Amino acid sequence: RDAAHALKSAIGNFSTSGATATASQIEHLARQGGSLTAAMGLVPALERQVEVLLASLAAYRREQESCVS
């Protein structure tokens, strides 16, 4: 539960995307004593969403670096 909350908060610093919503669903399941199987079913979607977020952050970083150069 704590890990899901920390991940949701970290993602939320950069995005209000589906990744935040999915991490929130996982946290909710953990908080309610929900099924680990249900939470694990959300992990592949969360992984894809985090990959998109990371790619966006990398593109932003490259853009900022090109402005400074």
**Model-level pTM?**
0.72
Which residues are CB-neighbours of 39 under 8 A, at least 6 positions away? 4, 26, 29, 30
Percent of the chain exceeding pLDDT 70 equals 94
* Cα gap 68→53, rounded to integer Å: 23
Confidence of residue 69 (pLDDT cuts 50, 70, 90): low
Could you count the other beta carbons within 10 Å of the beta carbon of residue 30? 16
* Cα gap 25→31, rounded to integer Å: 10
Query: What average pLDDT does this structure show over 58-65?
Result: 88
Give tens-digit pLDDT for 35-49: 788 889 999 999 999
